[in-house]
Chain A
Amino acid sequence: MSGRDVVIGIAAALLLLTIMVVVLSGGTACTPSTEIRRLAEFYLKHCINLYNKTWWTSSPAAVTSMLWDYRGIDTYYETSVFFLAIIGGVALFRVVEVKLGAGGREEKKELGLSLIVKTSTRIVFLLILIVAVSVALHGHVNPGGGFQAGSVLAVGPLLFMAAFSRRFLEDRLKLDRAKCVALLTIGLILIVLVIASPLVVGGALMQNQPKYWLPKSPWGYLTHVGPLELSGTLFFLDVAEFLVVSFGFTLLFIIVSIPEKEFRRLLGL
């Protein structure tokens, strides 16, 4: 415990006390209180309201219905920003044309960690896959959705690359960069189709349920298929976003784990 640690500790304690006094005397107007704001009341009251169907979204999860219906354009732009960041990362490493497994001699060497780690990674990857798909498909009913499930599924190939080798992912599971880009693009095309399809029959962009000020479109997306709950566009958009997020991250991880020797050889350093 040097002198500098003591000084920083005292400074942090003073900052803590000052902020506490400010909050206690009402200095910050938006401290948490016992009532919520009018905007939150509107969203909570109308997200599943069978008696007043002018603003409803037919989904009991308020956060998912806000993400894809009430504030849907925000999420659309956020997906495009995410896609641009991935393209930027891929473009930085575009000189690499890595051919792994070219030498037959290398195959004989045992790559990766020990047998215990490999077996447990296989079991854990199966569990990750099941949990991610369940969270994605139930996004409109339970807490969950496309982003959460995509982040969970992105951990799986990362574990494989750490426990086995990167060659395993490309040869056995057949998951190389081109396939990741293809699946990512399928997700994006699905999003655009679902968003733009109400325009064909005279509705509004990203419309979920019928709205009273558009007299030419009396229909909205389906809300139930038999006994199963399918909240209009929310289900399809969740699945599409799951594809985009999970394969976008897998692409970035495949690129970041290319060994340094290849880059040094290609850049001539």
Chain B
Amino acid sequence: MSVEQILQPYCYAALVTIIAISLYGIVRGASLTKKLIALTIFGDTANALMIYVGYRFGEEVFAPVMPTFEPSPSEIAWFVSTAVDPVPQCLVITAIVINMAITMFLAFLIIQAYRLYGTVSVKKIAKLRG
């Protein structure tokens, strides 16, 4: 068991731990703002897990951008054998922008809720009903 073989699952496990911590923060956050912070951490970690699954472990890895404009067939074969998976990166770019739009909308809703209820604490809002 070399050092690399131990560190690969460690990175995966660290990402799963951050997901667990942020889920705890969403469920048990005492104010709406803390829940929003935990939600942003959760969304970013899900994106990072997707990119990690698409990585390629090897001696020589390369970003999915071809370095020349007119590649010869041997260069194309080299590119296919060393480049990282580009499919998760395309999905994550879309996900980042949509998450930001949703976070801005939630920010507006939190400010409006403070104006109408007078508080942001979850316990006090639960007592206001009835």
- Please determine whether chains A and B interact with each other in the same assembly: yes
Seen from chain A, the residues whose Cβ lies within 8 Å of a Cβ on chain B are 12, 15-20, 23-24, 28, 30-37, 39-41, 43-45, 47-51, 60-63, 66-67, 71, 74-75, 78, 81-82, 85-86, 88-89, 92-93, 142-143, 145, 147-148, 151, 229, 245, 249, 252, 255-256, 263-264, 267, 269
Whole-angstrom CA separation of A49 from B56 in the bound complex: 23
CB-based contact B94/A75 at 8 Å: yes
Contact A32:B57 (CB < 8 A) given known A89-B105, A92-B108, A256-B108:
yes
Say yes or no: B65 contacts A32, CB within 8 Å. Answer: no
8 pairs, A vs B, C-beta closer than 8 Å: A34-B57, A40-B86, A45-B80, A60-B68, A82-B97, A147-B97, A151-B100, A245-B97
- The residue on A at minimum CB distance from B104 is A252
**What is the predominant secondary structure among interface residues of chain B facing chain A?**
helix
Please give, as numbers and ranges, the residues of chain B lying within 8 Å of A88 by CB-CB distance: 105
- Residue of B17, B66, B73 touching A16 (CB-CB under 8 A): B17
Task: Judge whether B125 is part of the interface by a CB distance below 8 angstroms.
Answer: no
B107 touches A256 (CB 8 A): yes
Asked if residues B66 and A85 are in contact (CB atoms below 8 Å), the reply is no
The interface bits of chain B over 53-79 (1 if a CB of A lies within 8 angstroms of the residue's CB, else 0) are 111111000011111111101001001
Is B87 close to A, CB under 8 A? Answer: yes
Q: Please tell me which one of the listed residues A31, A45, A252 contacts residue B12 in the complex, with CB atoms under 8 A apart.
A: A31
Beta-carbon contact of B115 and A20 below 8 Å = no
Contacts of B87 in A (CB 8 A): 37, 39-40, 43, 66
Cα(A49)–Cα(B108), bound, Å? 47
What is B's interface to A at a CB cutoff of 8 Å? Answer: 5-6, 8-10, 12-14, 16-17, 20-21, 52-58, 63-71, 73, 76, 79-80, 83-87, 89-90, 93-94, 96-98, 100-102, 104-105, 107-109, 111-112, 115
Q: Is B16 within 8 A of A47, CB to CB?
A: no
Top 8 A-B pairs, shortest CB-CB distance: A19-B13, A23-B9, A60-B66, A85-B101, A62-B64, A20-B9, A62-B86, A40-B85
The reply to whether A86 and B101 contact each other, CB–CB distance below 8 Å, is yes
Rounded to whole Å, the gap between the CB of A15 and the closest CB of chain B is: 6
A112 to B90, CA, bound (A): 40
Count of CB-CB pairs between chains A and B under 8 Å? 153
With contacts A32-B8, A34-B57 known, is A63 near B76, CB below 8 A?
A: no
- With A16-B10, A86-B101 in contact, is A67–B90 under 8 Å at CB? yes
Decide: A81 and B105 in contact? CB cutoff 8 A: no
Q: Say how far B96's CB is from chain A's closest CB, in angstroms.
A: 8
Q: Compute how far the CA of A93 lies from the CA of B104 in the bound complex, rounded to whole angstroms.
A: 13
- A263 vs B65: C-alpha distance in the bound complex, in angstroms? 49
Complex: how many Å from CA A262 to CA B78?
A: 62
Q: Is the CB of B13 within 8 A of A23?
A: yes
- Chain A residues positioned under 8 Å from B69 (CB to CB): 48, 60, 229
Among B6, B65, B71, B83: residue with most chain A CB under 10 A: B65
A34 CB to closest chain B CB (Å) equals: 5
A23 with B83: CB separation less than 8 A: no
* B80 x A41 contact (CB < 8 A): yes
Evaluate contact between B64 and A12: CB separation under 8 angstroms.
no
Cβ A15 vs Cβ B17 within 8 A = yes
Contact call B9/A63, Cβ cutoff below 8 A? no
Chain B's nearest CB lies how many Å from the CB of A78?
5
Cβ-defined contact, A36 with B85, below 8 A? yes
For the complex with contacts A45-B80, A92-B109, 14 further pairs of A-B residues with Cβ separation under 8 Å are A15-B17, A16-B14, A23-B9, A40-B86, A44-B80, A50-B70, A51-B73, A60-B66, A61-B66, A78-B97, A81-B101, A86-B101, A147-B93, A256-B107
CA distance A44 to B73 in the complex (A): 13
Given contacts A15-B13, A62-B65, A82-B98, contact A269 B86 (CB under 8 A): no
